[in-house]
């Protein structure tokens, strides 16, 4: 079982679960990043928000993520895309937290707003 590690550790890894995955509409943001492989996280549950998913730090049976090695510049660009606000992490659309993956600790973007009425994905992945 993968458990989240909640720290401000600097890591060059990002685990993606939605439109940033290979073959989907925002994957071009990860140009230049090294694809390390896929994993299943039991430390997060995805919610289908319609045009994209959002992850919450809730136990699941394993949601699919793709793990990439990124540099600091690309991580900053991803933060802008995901509306992550480092000085006010709960004010943006997403916040970041470290989750353990098969490739090492990786940032996972967690959805801030409520997900009442949204379909939970507790196993597998999200596809448009």
* Local confidence pLDDT in tens for the 128 residues of the chain: 444 443 444 669 999 999 999 999 999 999 989 999 999 999 999 999 999 999 999 999 999 999 999 999 999 999 999 999 999 999 999 999 999 999 999 999 999 999 999 999 999 999 88
Tokens of 94: 């997403």
Residue 1 has a pLDDT of 43
* Chain segment 76-86, per-residue pLDDT in tens: 999 999 999 99
* Chain segment 5-22, per-residue pLDDT in tens: 434 446 699 999 999 999
Among the listed residues 31, 58, 82, 114, the single catalytic one is 82
Q: What ranges make up the beta strands (E) of the chain?
A: 4-5, 13-16, 34-41, 45-48, 53-56, 62-69, 94-101, 104-111, 119-121, 123-124
CB 53 within 8 A of CB 47: yes
Tokens of 61: 């049976």
Residue 128 has a pLDDT of 86
Q: Where are the domains of the chain?
A: 4-124
Q: Is 82 a catalytic residue?
A: yes
pTM of the model: 0.89
Q: Candidates 3.10.490.10, 3.40.50.720, 3.30.70.1710, 3.40.50.300; correct CATH number of 4-124?
A: 3.10.490.10
């Amino acid at each position: 079982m993968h458990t989240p590690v909640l720290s401000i550790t600097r890591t060059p890894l990002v685990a993606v679960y939605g439109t940033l995955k290979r073959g989907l509409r925002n994957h071009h943001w990860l140009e230049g990043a090294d694809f390390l492989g896929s994993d299943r996280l039991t430390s997060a549950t995805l919610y289908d928000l319609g045009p994209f998913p959002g992850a919450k730090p809730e136990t699941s049976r394993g949601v699919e993520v793709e793990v990439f090695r990124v540099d600091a510049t690309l991580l900053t660009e991803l933060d802008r895309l995901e509306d992550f606000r480092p000085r006010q992490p709960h004010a943006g659309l997403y916040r970041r937290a470290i989750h353990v993956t098969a490739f090492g600790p990786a940032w996972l973007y967690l959805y801030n707003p409520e997900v009442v009425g949204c379909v939970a994905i507790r196993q597998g992945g999200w596809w448009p």
